[in-house]
C-alpha cells in the first residue's frame, strides 16, 4: 500500500534506506510487544555545551545587543533618533538570519538527509515555512517603526511579542483543529495531506531536532514511530503544546500591555527582555514535567503495552494511562481530553 494513501502509517525508513515503505505487520507487532516505547536516537545531555553556546549567542543577539545599542546611542551620542534605530535594526537578528539560511540550505540540498519524510526536494518543513512568514511580518513591523523621522519605539519593542503571538496562535490552532477532527489540508512536515492533524508540538520537535539539532531523517522516522505507537506520548505532547502555545499568547498579551503603558525606555527593555524571562520560567517547569511523564509512559507501557487503540495509528481517542498533568485532577480544559467509553478494556488501568 502506498504510504501517502494511508496516513496512519509511518512515512519513511531510517536514514540509510533509499526508499519509503509502510511498516510491515511484523514491525507493528514487534513494536507493540516491546518492553518499552520505541526509542528516540537523540540525547540533549550529549549536546549541553552546544545548546548552551547557541542560546548564549541568541540572548546576546536578541537582548543584550539591542538594549545596549539603544541606550548607548540614544543617550551617549548626538545621532538622530532615526539613525539610532536604523543602526539597531540593521544589527538585529544576526543569529536568526544565519539560522534561517542554514536551515534553508540543509532542506534544499540535493543530498539532504534532514528534509521531511517522503517530501520532494522543493518542500520545506513546517517550521521553515512559519519562520519565513514571521520574518516577513517582523520586516514590515520594523520598517513601519523606523521609517519616520521620530521612530515609533514601542512598535520596535514588539518584535519578540509578535513572534510569541504568531507561533502561539499557529501551534494552538493546529491542536484545536486536531481536537475538532480536521485532517491535514496540506503536508505538515512528515505528515501527509489527508492524515489526522498532528499535534503541533510533535511537528515542532521533529523539525527542530532533525534540521537544527542534526538528527536528520533518522530522527524524523524514530519520532514518528514513537508518536504513532504511543497514545500516552501523543497525549503528553498535546498537553505540553497547550501549555507553551497558550502561555505564549497570554504572556505576549501581558508584555504588549506593559509595552504600551510604561515609559518609553522601560517599554523597550520590557519588550526585548520579558519574553526570555517567560521562556526561562516555562523551560524550568517543562523539564521535570517531561521527565516525569516519560517515566510514567514507560511504566504504563510495561503494564499495558501501547495501551489500546488501533495499532500504529494516530487515534485521538485511543485510551491511555493518566499523564502527569491529569493525575493532578485539574479541570478538563484540554480539548484532547476525551471521556472514555464505558466498554473500555479493564486492563487500561490508570497509573
Q: Which domain holds residue 275?
A: 37-328
pLDDT at res. 9: 44
In a domain, 69, yes or no: yes
Q: Is the pLDDT of residue 15 over 60?
A: no
Query: Is 82 within the bounds of a domain?
Result: yes
- The β-bridge partners of 191 are 188
Predicted pLDDT of residue 135: 94
Average pLDDT over every residue of 8-16: 44
- Average pLDDT score, the chain: 82
Average pLDDT over residues 226-245: 93
Question: What would the DSSP string read from start to end of 203-230?
Answer: HHHHHIIIIISS-HHHHHHHHHHHHHH-
Grouping H, G, I as helix, E, B as strand and the rest as coil, residue 195 is coil
Whether 10 shows a pLDDT value over 70: the answer reads: no
Task: Give the count of domains, the chain.
Answer: 1
**Tens of pLDDT, residues 30-39:** 555 567 888 8
What tens digit of pLDDT does each residue of 133-187 get? 999 999 999 999 888 888 999 999 999 999 999 999 999 999 999 999 999 999 9
Q: Does the structure show a pLDDT above 60 at 341?
A: no
Q: Supply the pTM of this predicted model.
A: 0.81
How many CB atoms are located within 10 Å of the residue 316 CB?
18
Domain-located, residue 166: yes
Say if 342 falls within a structural domain.
no
Cell numbers found for residue 263: 515609559
Does a structural domain hold residue 346? no
Residue 92 placed within a domain: yes
Average pLDDT over residues 257-271: 96
Residue 321 belongs to some domain of the structure: yes
Digit-coded pLDDT (tens) for 60-82: 999 999 999 999 999 989 888 88
290: in domain: yes
Per-residue pLDDT, 36: 82
Q: Are 232 and 320 in contact (CB under 8 A)?
A: yes
Amino acid at each position: 500500500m502506498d504510504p501517502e494513501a494511508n496516513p496512519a502509517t509511518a512515512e519513511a525508513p531510517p536514514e540509510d534506506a533509499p526508499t519509503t515503505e509502510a511498516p510491515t505487520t511484523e514491525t507493528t507487532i514487534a513494536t507493540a510487544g516491546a518492553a518499552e516505547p520505541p526509542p528516540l536516537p537523540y540525547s540533549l545531555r550529549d549536546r549541553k555545551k552546544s545548546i548552551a553556546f547557541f542560546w548564549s549567542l541568541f540572548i546576546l543577539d536578541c537582548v543584550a545587543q539591542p538594549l545596549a545599542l539603544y541606550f548607548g546611542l540614544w543617550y551617549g551620542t548626538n545621532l538622530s533618533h532615526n539613525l539610532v534605530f536604523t543602526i539597531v535594526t540593521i544589527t538585529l537578528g544576526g543569529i536568526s538570519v544565519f539560522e534561517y539560511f542554514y536551515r534553508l540550505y540543509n532542506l534544499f540540498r540535493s543530498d539532504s538527509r534532514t528534509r521531511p519524510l517522503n517530501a520532494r526536494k522543493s518542500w520545506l518543513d513546517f517550521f521553515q515555512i512559519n519562520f519565513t512568514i514571521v520574518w516577513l511580518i517582523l520586516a514590515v513591523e520594523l520598517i513601519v517603526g523606523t521609517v519616520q523621522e521620530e521612530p515609533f519605539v514601542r512598535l520596535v519593542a514588539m518584535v519578540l511579542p509578535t513572534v510569541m503571538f504568531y507561533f502561539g496562535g499557529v501551534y494552538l490552532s493546529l491542536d484545536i483543529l486536531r481536537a475538532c477532527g480536521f485532517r491535514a489540508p496540506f503536508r505538515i512536515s512528515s505528515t501527509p495531506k489527508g492524515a489526522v492533524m498532528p499535534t503541533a508540538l510533535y511537528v515542532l520537535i521533529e523539525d527542530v531536532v532533525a534540521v537544527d539539532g542534526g538528527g536528520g531523517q533518522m530522527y524524523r522516522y524514530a519520532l514518528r514511530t514513537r508518536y504513532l505507537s504511543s497514545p500516552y506520548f501523543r497525549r503528553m505532547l498535546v498537553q505540553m503544546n497547550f501549555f507553551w502555545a497558550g502561555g505564549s499568547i497570554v504572556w505576549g498579551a501581558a508584555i504588549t500591555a506593559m509595552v504600551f503603558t510604561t515609559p518609553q525606555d522601560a517599554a523597550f527593555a520590557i519588550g526585548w527582555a520579558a519574553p526570555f524571562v517567560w521562556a526561562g520560567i516555562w523551560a524550568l517547569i517543562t523539564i521535570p514535567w517531561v521527565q516525569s511523564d516519560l517515566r510514567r509512559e514507560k511504566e504504563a507501557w510495561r503494564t499495558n503495552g501501547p495501551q489500546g487503540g488501533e495499532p500504529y495509528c494516530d487515534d485521538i481517542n485511543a485510551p491511555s494511562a493518566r499523564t502527569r498533568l491529569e493525575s493532578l485532577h485539574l479541570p478538563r480544559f484540554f480539548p484532547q481530553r476525551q471521556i472514555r467509553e464505558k466498554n473500555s478494556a479493564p486492563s487500561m488501568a490508570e497509573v
